[in-house]
A and B are shown apart, each in its own frame.
Chain A
Amino acid sequence: DGGITQSPKYLFRKEGQNVTLSCEQNLNHDAMYWYRQDPGQGLRLIYYSQIVNDFQKGDIAEGYSVSREKKESFPLTVTSAQKNPTAFYLCASMTRERAGELFFGEGSRLTVL
């Protein structure tokens, strides 16, 4: 089945550590996104990529980094510079060939201890 796989589903991190969240899609989509979701805040865009080897900062990119070396993969690294990293992280992908329908993964919940 085609879809987006995020891992791990739950992650605990000590302060000062970098962590990487995985996002893999087998939908052959060009565009991929990372969102952060906090209670009462709605979805906020961290980074997006429209094509391999290219990505752009979203609204809250500080303290995060990404790479897009393969079409199907868009990992997100939460660095120690991110002051409040505890949140629910969502990966999404989209292609304009399907009227721009956006698909999401199941999310990764990061907790900083």
Chain B
Amino acid sequence: KQEVTQIPAALSVPEGENLVLNCSFTDSAIYNLQWFRQDPGKGLTSLLLIQSSQREQTSGRLNASLDKSSGRSTLYIAASQPGDSATYLCAVQPGGSYIPTFGRGTSLIVHP
């Protein structure tokens, strides 16, 4: 059974720092990996999706990488801002199933 772990569970940084959020998974036979953002009391917003054949995806200040062989993905946030404060979740979709497995998320606070 696929297991997804996100470290750290919580992170507090000053504005302007570059930061890395980690996502690890136990089964490398994945179809894709997706990063989400969730604000309090809201649904999940898709940030980046990396297909199994890709190594990374970029959107603005966000960059997500995927290393299937080691079972790891990282979400890099450049020049963090208070508006980046949210919970970030990763989800891994297996190759033979439509059921994604979610990590528990990293709660990020960026203070001015």
Contact = CB atoms under 8 A, between A and B. Distances in A.
B42 A101 contact: no
B112 interface: no
Contacts of A43: 89, 102
Contacts of A92: 44
Given A100-B31, A101-B34, A94 B98 contact: yes
Contacts of B42: 106-107
Determine the interface band of chain A, counting residues with CB < 8 A from chain B.
Answer: 20 to 34
A80 B2 CA distance: 32
Determine the interface band of chain B, counting residues with CB < 8 A from chain A.
Answer: 20 to 34
B45 to A, nearest CB: 7
Given A42-B104, A101-B34, A101-B49, A48 B98 contact: yes
Nearest to B91: A102
